[in-house]
Amino acid sequence: MTLADTKILSEEIANLKRERNAIILAHNYQLAEVQDIADFVGDSLELSQIAADSSAQVIVFCGVRFMAEVASILCPDKIVLLPSVDSGCLLADMVTTDLLRQKRKENPNASVVCYINSPAEVKAESDICCTSANAVQVIKSLPGNDILFIPDQCLGHYVSTKVDKHIVIWPGYCPPHIQIRPEGILRLKRKYPKAEVIVHPECSPEVIALADKVMGTSGIVNYARRDDISELIVGTEIGIIHRLKKENPGKRFIPASEKAICPDMKLITLEKVFLSLRDLQPQVKVADKIRDKAGVAIDRMLTVPSSDSIRGDMLAGRRQM
Ligand code: CIZ
């Protein structure tokens, strides 16, 4: 697409957005051109909360399915659009309700802590949700000692090093984050000796062991803004590099691996955003029964403050039902 095409399409999207009383939300991993036309860029929970607080009737959620589901759970009276119906999440698909029920039977005393990267039906069968920003605090907040952590094994392992509880860890993983390898980090550290290494907790324990900081995407965005930061090796999906560079001109951001790409995130294009606003399709709507139960697990999480952003306490209790 030429620059002129992009401009025309962006204008048409802006017109449709006004007509539809819509807002466009883009995840930190979205394509640059999608981030650039969004009203807000952020992580999944921040965006869902913005959706719930907004007076817009239509939410265009440029992310993946589980994120649009959380938006639908938090704002059931709004139309939630996911511009690419095929944007799923391989990690989220690694847990199902049948498998969870079976594992629960094997661990009858464990509280199920469900990472936000999971299907709505699985959240509905969990005790509490968490994000990468608040997983440690969520687990610490639970009264019991036994935890079943689903579905990301890397985040589960990271959390197990921070809390003194017995944690059974589900074997799921995020394919893009697994592309970030310790040898790649070591090579970049040699090349950029002054750079700090900041990685997402979905990275492997070997990668985390080499990092100066471990944070979710909001934490990374906030950390990059600090005056004392000029150079960062960034271990997460490479879509975030666009936002980091845009917000911090003059600073250097080095992707820890060029292979850390989520193909599902890249399915959303400006054309798809335009079509979805024009046709009000594809919509994501979580069925009432699932929504009510998944909403309880999300609400419980929202009462727990998070470590690397202010959103936990800011947002608690604002869900509209
Ligand atoms: O919750 C999110 O948005 C994800 C998937 C990652 C993060 O750390 O923000």
Domain containing 118 — which CATH number? 3.40.50.10800
Give the list of residues 6+ apart from residue 66 with CB closer than 8 angstroms, or none.
44, 89, 92, 116, 117, 118, 119, 120
Backbone angles phi, psi at 189, to 5 degrees: -65, -35
Nearest CA to ligand 1 atom 1: 44
Q: For residue range 250-271, list pLDDT tens digits in order.
A: 999 999 999 999 999 999 999 9
How far is Cα 183 from Cα 185, in angstroms, rounded to an integer?
Answer: 5
Res 321: pLDDT: 27
Specify if 38 maps to a domain: yes
Sheet holding 231-235, edge to edge: 213-214, 196-199, 231-235, 252-255
Mutate to test the pocket of ligand 1, among 30, 43, 91, 222 (most ligand atoms within 8 A of CB): 43
Nearest CA to ligand 1 atom 8: 216
Say yes or no to pLDDT of 6 above 90: no
Distance between start and end Cα atoms, the chain: 41
Mutate to test the pocket of ligand 1, among 30, 49, 74, 132 (most ligand atoms within 8 A of CB): 132
* Residues 161 and 199 both lie in one domain: no
Atom of ligand 1 nearest to the CA of 131: 1
> Residue 311: which pLDDT band, with cuts at 50, 70 and 90?
very low
* Residues 59 and 96 both lie in one domain: no
Share of the chain above pLDDT 70, in %: 95
Cis previous bond, 282, omega within 30: yes
How many domains does the chain fold into? Answer: 3
* Residues 187 and 157 both lie in one domain: no
CA of 301 to the centre of ligand 1 (A): 15
Specify if 311 maps to a domain: no
Q: Choose the final residue of a domain: 112, 141, 173.
A: 173
* Residues 30 and 62 both lie in one domain: yes
Res 314: pLDDT: 34
* Residues 127 and 78 both lie in one domain: no
Specify if 144 maps to a domain: yes
* Residues 102 and 168 both lie in one domain: yes
Specify if 292 maps to a domain: no
CA of 81 to the centre of ligand 1 (A): 19
* Residues 141 and 163 both lie in one domain: yes
> Residue 4: which pLDDT band, with cuts at 50, 70 and 90?
confident
Q: For residue range 91-139, list pLDDT tens digits in order.
A: 999 999 999 999 999 999 999 999 999 999 999 999 999 999 999 999 9
Specify if 73 maps to a domain: yes
* Residues 7 and 81 both lie in one domain: yes
The three state secondary structure string of 31-97 is CHHHHHHCCEEECHHHHHHHHHHCCCCEEEEECCHHHHHHHHHHCCCCEEECCCCCCCCCCHHHCCH
Q: In terms of residue numbers, what domain contains 21?
A: 3-88+265-286
Residues with CB under 6 A from ligand 1: 27, 43-45, 116-117, 131-132, 200, 216-218
* Residues 75 and 97 both lie in one domain: no
CA of 213 to the centre of ligand 1 (A): 16
Q: Choose the final residue of a domain: 157, 173, 189.
A: 173
Q: Choose the final residue of a domain: 205, 225, 260.
A: 260
